[in-house]
Amino acid sequence: MNILLKSAKIVCPENKDLHLKKRDILIKKGVIEKIGATVDAPSNIKVVEKENLHVSLGWFDSSVSFGEPGFEERETIANGLFTAGKSGFTDIVLNPNTHPVPDTSSDVVFLKERGQGKATKLYPLGTLTKNAEGIDLAELFDMRNAGAVAFFDFKKQISNPNLLKIALLYAQNFDGLVYSFPQDGDIKGKGVANEGEISTKLGLKGIPALSEELQIARDLYILEYTGGKLHIPTISSAGSVKLIAEAKKKGLDVSCSVAVHNLFFSDETLVGFDTHFKVSPPLRTKSDCKALIKGLKNGTIDFVTSDHIPMDIEHKRVEFDNAKNGSLGLESAFGSLNTIFELDETISLLTKGRERYQIDSPKLEEGAKACLTLFNPEGEYVFETNDVLSTSKNSMFVGATLKGKVYGIIHNDLSTL
């Protein structure tokens, strides 16, 4: 693949010589051959000229769900990776919420093979326990050797504290990363929305922030005892930010993420009982949103994720109590973040996180393999259903005003432009 990007404004704070400079970028056979003020186009090369073209290092998303195997009607791996690429993501971590779940090395190999030959690279998670049932540890070491980057019983709490203790101790033998979903199921009960004024007015059963914070506090105590590497995905409350900040001050090896929708929306959006806004953890208050944004800015929260979860219409077009959790997020991730943060901050958030999974970070320099995202950061627009590229259409961002458009990616000697 040979491409010449013309007059691309480079957004790369790591490279002070190129940051915010307009340059031509010549890419040959997937490698950045030349970066210059003016680069003449060789023969037989694709020249890319776009309105207000900006380019950055390829974006990374640590929480993406598809459907294959088992739920292909929601999303296949092929179309999911195409959607990720068109949304600007060169690398994604795939959640283990399939049927069957990936709890053996052969399952991980299957997922990696299904992701071969695409512009966006897929990094699978394996489950922490067999069948994600929370009883016995799965084949963690074998899955790690097969390519699993971490271990997670998707959106399920680890009820047994001793299981988490053993997992953290065992995973240290191969520098493995253990996930723990921050929700105490007994306190959550049958809750479907954030416990507060809005849920009370609407008559919806509440999920108190305590259910998240109590689980996190327990897990951090266990981590302090065992050592090891713990990741807490998609936190949602101000109290959680405070707990993790205190743990990091102690020197604990803990990381966390937040979903874009928990920054962009509050529980006030539930007034219409729209099931697209039913997610786990739930949308919380505006003050929680502010605390999460502050946590990202000061580094307490390590990275942001789309928490992309395709869900078929049969599980969304029902009563709020009965609807399944989840919203699409890949297609709207950049446009929503770009309305909250300055451009440099947005790109920093979208490019960080790989090191936690021991994934090599790309470079934007001559001689490096091309791992680039192309976009226009300007221009507001209303996100519509026809902006959704996923097979499922369950996006809570439909109707929201976003800022900026993604053109595509160049990665793995392939392009989605």
CA distance 148 to 125: 5
Residues 334-372: b if buried by 16+ CB within 10 A, e if exposed: bbbbbbbbebebbbbbbbbbbebbebeebebeeeebbbb
**143 and 104 Cβ atoms separated by less than 8 Å:** yes
**6 and 49 Cβ atoms separated by less than 8 Å:** yes
Residue (of 111, 133, 113) closest to 67 by Cα position = 111
**81 and 122 Cβ atoms separated by less than 8 Å:** yes
Question: Would you tell me the crossing angle of helices 77-86 and 330-340 to the nearest 10 degrees?
Answer: 30
Instruction: Tell me whether residue 307 is one of the annotated catalytic residues.
Output: yes
Q: Is beta strand 229-232 parallel, antiparallel or unpaired with respect to 177-179?
A: parallel
**142 and 103 Cβ atoms separated by less than 8 Å:** no
CA atoms in the 13 A half-sphere facing the CB of 70: 13
Largest CA distance in the chain: 67
Q: Is beta strand 303-305 parallel, antiparallel or unpaired with respect to 206-207?
A: unpaired
Which residue has 């509050």 as its token pair? 266
Q: Which of 184, 307, 321, 360 is catalytic?
A: 307
Query: Which residues are marked as active site?
Result: 307
